[in-house]
Amino acid sequence: MANYNRRDFAKLVVLGGIGYTVFACADDPKKDASTATKEEEKVTPKIPELLPENIKLYQKADAEYQDLADRFNKRFQQSPTYIAQCFTTQGVADAVEFANYKDLKVVVKSGGHSFEGFSSTNDGLVVDVSAMKKMEWRPDHSLSVETGCILKEIYNEMLPKQRILPSGSCATVGIAGLTLGGGYGFFSRKYGLTCDSLQAITIVDGQGNIRHESGNSAILKACKGGGNGNFGIVTKMKFRTYQAPSFFQAYRCKAYKLDTARAKNLLETWFRYTRSLPNTAFSAFVLNGKTLTILITNYSNDNKGVMDMYNALKEVSDKATIGSKRPLPKALKTFYGVQHPIYFKNACAGLYKDFAEIEGCIDDVISKVISSRGLIYQVNTLGGNINSAASEKRSVYPHRSYPYLSELQSYWDKPSQEVSRLVAFKEVQDRFYKQGIRAHYRNYPDINFKDYETAYYGKYLPELKAIKKQLDPDNRIQHPQSISL
Ligand SMILES: Cc1cc2nc3c(=O)[nH]c(=O)nc-3n(C[C@H](O)[C@H](O)[C@H](O)COP(=O)(O)OP(=O)(O)OC[C@H]3O[C@@H](n4cnc5c(N)ncnc54)[C@H](O)[C@@H]3O)c2cc1C
């Protein structure tokens, strides 16, 4: 356990009303009141004045607490003992020092979109960086962002400058959580995962040290696919950006009242044609009960593979439409999704190499999905330049050779609907497990995944454990599926 630094203790004492309550000596088993008073007197007055700009600490009785405790997934109603709202990297370091002093576990929160509530806790300290939103351009078109930024803020900054970062589509997802687990979206088959564009980071480790990592740093590498709440709190990220395309076009095919045989035939056709898509295209197969939507997007005039796929699917669908070529800012907004908290359960349903991998279980899966209220099975295209040897060397994302990423989803309105939704969900997951599907995307976690460390990190697990040991030997930073020592 790291020793508490006296100067920092005194710095933290002057945080204000709540700060004083939190750090009062009577609350501290290791010190008595007279010792602490002497320590406070030793501190130069200038340092405490800086602190409210760095960090504010909240407990349950505070008016601000509940807003900060809420997450995008209403299924989780967690109550951390403390929430440290941080405004600077120094504030994050102070929060970790406080946690070390109080012997609290630290949980990290940026955009708050974790599927499984991994950015909150019931018994520790949440380090919340969501108020840290500065962005700064460099002459080489790279963009440095603080990790409180959410995707729509980054798009709003980049798109008017005709720049783009390969990233996710949903407006309120945090850039931090997304990048640290990999990050994919419409532009990834051409430009790689979001983490592949990450050039430098500032990170506060589990002992409160501030580190700047770039180039061939092993810590930077570990944060490209393995950095979600495992060994440090990333406060700044510098990204390479790309010239934005001049248009974006969406194609949709829909089929209704599906039975298992027809849905399976459509899925097989989808897999077949995705193999010839250009790298500027993306596609998703979304089976929502008995209704299927196939989305194909593209942003280049290399359109042959897209048209071949669209025409083949049109023949076997009930409705097919080609959207107009739209300017990127407008087109992306149509995919921003729900921007307020909802009840849901989402999880990875496996990364696949091809249809053959799931053929043995797909009849059971489809028949469960079409007979279960509110269950959605989706398969997305990865592949293209995600599968690059150069990116493989510089990251710990282990699934580059899998061109398909699937997910299960369920959304509901009232807590009473949760149990039945989760039962059907688990049945489909079990079917995939029996089929031998083991590789899972870290950003689509599930608390029930067996052997989750290998499923998320594969061959890079030993490297990540070594980084954990180096940066967080006391296992200060953790969540239910964080890397174990
Ligand atoms: C509606 C929705 C749409 C999505 N769309 C996509 C998509 O298009 N593409 C895609 O790749 N993923 C997508 N995801 C998954 C998304 O990438 C993950 O949920 C991601 O982890 C969310 O990051 P966050 O910062 O919003 O969440 P948080 O809940 O704040 O954090 C998620 C995890 O990252 C850790 N973490 C957060 N900030 C930091 C930090 N600064 N330093 C260290 N660890 C940190 C947390 O401890 C937690 O374990 C989507 C999720 C949702 C809910």
In a domain, 485, yes or no: no
In a domain, 481, yes or no: no
* CA-closest residue to ligand 1 atom 4: 170
* Interval 135-151: pLDDT, tens: 999 999 999 999 999 99
The predicted model gives 197-205 an average pLDDT of 98
The predicted model gives 189-210 an average pLDDT of 98
Q: Which domain holds residue 225?
A: 135-244+459-471
* CA-closest residue to ligand 1 atom 51: 113
Which stretch of 17-26, 189-198, 305-314, 459-468 has the lowest confidence by average pLDDT?
Answer: 17-26
Mean pLDDT of the chain: 90
Domains held by the chain: number = 3
166 shares its domain with 301: no
In a domain, 478, yes or no: no
Domain boundary (84, 110, 128) is at: 128
pLDDT for the residue 11: 37
Between the CA of 110 and the centroid of ligand 1 the distance, in Å, is: 8
Between the CA of 67 and the centroid of ligand 1 the distance, in Å, is: 19
List C-alpha distances in Å: 132 to 83, 129, 187, 234, 439: 15, 6, 26, 11, 33
pLDDT for the residue 48: 30
pLDDT at 260 over 80: yes
In a domain, 327, yes or no: yes
The predicted model gives 210-216 an average pLDDT of 98
pLDDT for the residue 36: 33
Between the CA of 444 and the centroid of ligand 1 the distance, in Å, is: 9
Render the burial of 437-468: b for 16+ CB within 10 Å, e for the rest.
bebbbbbbbbeebeebbbbbbbebbeebbebb
Spatial separation of the C-alpha atoms in residues 131 and 114, rounded to whole Å: 18
Between the CA of 242 and the centroid of ligand 1 the distance, in Å, is: 22
Between the CA of 259 and the centroid of ligand 1 the distance, in Å, is: 34
237 shares its domain with 308: no
pLDDT for the residue 42: 40
In a domain, 482, yes or no: no
257 shares its domain with 352: yes
210 shares its domain with 63: no
Grade residue 174 by pLDDT with cuts at 50, 70 and 90. Answer: very high
372 shares its domain with 272: yes
CATH number at residue 207: 3.30.465.10
pLDDT at 388 over 50: yes
35 shares its domain with 113: yes
Mutate to test the pocket of ligand 1, among 75, 106, 147, 173 (most ligand atoms within 8 A of CB): 173
pLDDT at 38 over 90: no
Between the CA of 120 and the centroid of ligand 1 the distance, in Å, is: 12
* Interval 443-470: pLDDT, tens: 999 999 999 999 999 999 999 999 999 9
Spatial separation of the C-alpha atoms in residues 126 and 69, rounded to whole Å: 9
In a domain, 479, yes or no: no
* CA-closest residue to ligand 1 atom 8: 168
Residue by residue, DSSP assigns 324-364 as: --B-HHHHHHTT----S-BEEEEEEEEEESSGGGTHHHHHH
375 shares its domain with 285: yes
pLDDT for the residue 64: 96
For ligand 1, residues with CB inside 6 Å are: 72, 107-115, 118-119, 129, 147, 168-170, 173-174, 176-178, 180-181, 183-185, 227-229, 233-234, 337, 443, 479
Residue by residue, DSSP assigns 146-177 as: ETT-BHHHHHHHHGGGTEE----S-TTSBHHH
215 shares its domain with 278: no
Mutate to test the pocket of ligand 1, among 153, 180, 481 (most ligand atoms within 8 A of CB): 180
Domain boundary (86, 102, 128) is at: 128
430 shares its domain with 310: yes
In a domain, 480, yes or no: no
- Predicted TM-score of the model (pTM): 0.91
